Amino acid sequence: MKVSTILKYIVTAFLAFIIVYLSCNFPLFNAELIFLYMVIIMIIIYLYAGKKVRYMIQLSFFWGIIYAFVIISLRSISRNHAILIGFPTIVLFTWGFTYCYRKKLSKKNIFIMLLMTLIFLEGPVRIINFSGTLISLPSFIFNLVAILIGCMLFFSRYNRIIWLSFGGVLGCAVWMFCQGGDMWAHKVVHGTYTGKIYRLANDYFLYDEKGDTLFLSQLKGKIVLLDFWSNGCGVCWEKFPMMQDLYDKYKNENVFIAGVFVEKKEGEYEENMKKFSCKYTFPIFKVSKDASLVKDLSVKRFPSLAVLDTDGVFRGFGNIEIVIKMFNNMVDTEKGKNDK
C-alpha cells in the first residue's frame, strides 16, 4: 500500500473522529458546527474524488473565502452597505471565478457550486436563528441574484436583457441603501415600515416609583412621548441626554415626556432608578414585560419610542429617529392650531 494512501486513511479517520467528538459533546443544531461538519465532509470527499469534483471543491473553497471576507466586512459597516456595494462586488467576483474555471467545469457546475457555497455559508444560521437573521435577509437575496447575474453576464455578455436586469437590480440596491433597508429593518424590529400606527390607549397604564397607577387615558389633551427601555440596554442610556433635552424644552407646554422601564425581573426597576436619578430628571414609569401595553405594541427591542396625539391615540411606534420626527411634527401642528 502506498504511503499517500495510508496518509489519506489516517487523515480521514482523524476527521471522522472530530465529527463524532463534536456530535457527542456539543448541540447538534448549532450553525457553526453544521458549517464545520460540511467543511470536514468536503475535505474527505476531496481526498478521494476525481479531478472534476476536486475542481468543484476548490471553486467552493476559494469562493467561500472571498464571499465571507467581502460580506462580513461590508455588514460590519452596515447592512445597507452590504447591499449597495456587495451586489456589484459579488457580480464581479462571480464573473472572475467563472472565467477562471470555464475550461475546468461546465457552466452548470460553476453556477451550482457558487450558489450552493453561499447557501452552505448562510443557510444553517438562517434556518436555526431565522428571526435573528431576518433583518439581513435582503442582503442574502441580493447576493443570490448577484451570482445568477454574474454567471449570465459571463456566458451571455452581449444580451441586453441581462444588462437591463443588472441595471434594474442595481437600482433596487441603491433604493435599499437610501431608504428601503431602513424601512425593512424597522418592519423586522418594530412591526411597521414607516412607524405609523393607530391604537387607542384607553386601557393601558403605567406604575410610578411609588407604585401609583397612571392610566394613559388621563393624558388626553397632551402630546405624549414614551421611551421604552430595559435593563442592560447601553444604547438606551446613550439616548437619555436627548430625552432630557426634549423634556427640558417642552416641560412647560402641553406635552408629556417620560421613560417606560420594561421590567423582566423583580427589582430591576429600583436598581436602575438609583443610577438614573443621579443624572436625569424626566419621569420614569415601569411596566411588566407581560403587560398588555408591551404586548400590543410589540415592544421587543430597546430603545423603542411611542407617541400619542391629544386624543389619546398611539400614532407612532418605532426607532428614535422616526418617532422623534413624528413627535416634533405633532408639536408644531398643535402650536399652529393654538396660534390661530
Report if residue 180 sits inside a domain: yes
Give the residue from 195, 188, 214, 180 showing the smallest Cα distance to 287: 214
- Chosen domain end from 48, 66, 83: 48
Please indicate, yes or no, whether residues 130 and 104 belong to a single structural domain of this protein: yes
User: What sign does the dihedral 24-28-30-33 (CA atoms) show?
Assistant: positive
- Chosen domain end from 189, 223, 246: 189
Please indicate, yes or no, whether residues 207 and 178 belong to a single structural domain of this protein: no
The amino acid occupying position 284 is: I
SS3 129: coil
Helix axes 137-155, 86-100, angle to 10 degrees: 40
Q: How far is it between the farthest Cα atoms of the chain? A: 99
C-beta of residue 255 within 8 angstroms of C-beta of residue 223: yes
Report if residue 74 sits inside a domain: yes
String of DSSP letters for 78-113: -HHHHHHTHHHHHHHHHHHHHHHTTTTS-HHHHHHH
The amino acid occupying position 224 is: V
- Chosen domain end from 189, 212, 244: 189
Give the residue from 101, 30, 35, 40 showing the smallest Cα distance to 68: 35
Q: pLDDT per residue over 66-122, tens digit each?
A: 988 888 888 888 889 999 999 999 999 999 999 999 999 999 999 999 999 999 888
How many domains are contained in the chain? 3
Give the residue from 146, 137, 120 showing the smallest Cα distance to 68: 120
Looking at residue 106, its pLDDT comes to 92
As a whole number, mean pLDDT of residues 115-140 equals 89
Q: pLDDT per residue over 210-259, tens digit each?
A: 889 999 999 999 999 999 999 999 999 999 999 999 999 998 889 999 99
Report if residue 59 sits inside a domain: yes
As a whole number, mean pLDDT of residues 181-192 equals 89
Give the residue from 288, 233, 292, 300 showing the smallest Cα distance to 263: 288
CA distance 304 to 80: 21
Whether 50 has a pLDDT exceeding 70, the answer reads yes
The boundaries of the domain holding residue 126 are 55-189
C-beta of residue 305 within 8 angstroms of C-beta of residue 324: yes
Please indicate, yes or no, whether residues 205 and 335 belong to a single structural domain of this protein: yes
Report if residue 194 sits inside a domain: no
CA distance 98 to 72: 22
Looking at residue 230, its pLDDT comes to 94
Please indicate, yes or no, whether residues 28 and 64 belong to a single structural domain of this protein: no
Question: Can you give the pTM of this predicted structure?
Answer: 0.79
Q: pLDDT per residue over 278-307, tens digit each?
A: 999 999 999 999 999 999 998 988 999 999
Tell me what the pLDDT averaged over the chain comes to.
90
C-beta of residue 141 within 8 angstroms of C-beta of residue 91: no
String of DSSP letters for 262-297: EESSTTHHHHHHHHHTTT--S-EEEEETTSHHHHHH
- What CATH number is given to the structural domain containing 311? 3.40.30.10
Give φ, ψ of 194 to 5 degrees: -115, -10
Per-residue confidence band for 340, with pLDDT thresholds at 50, 70 and 90: low
Report if residue 277 sits inside a domain: yes
First vs last C-alpha separation in the chain: 99
Buried b (16+ CB within 10 A) or exposed e, 117-143: bbebbbbbbbeeeeeebebbebbbebb
Report if residue 157 sits inside a domain: yes
Whether 330 has a pLDDT exceeding 70, the answer reads yes
Whether 1 has a pLDDT exceeding 70, the answer reads no
Contacts of 325 (CB under 8 A, 6+ apart): none
* Higher-scoring residue by pLDDT: 339, 200: 200
Please indicate, yes or no, whether residues 25 and 69 belong to a single structural domain of this protein: no
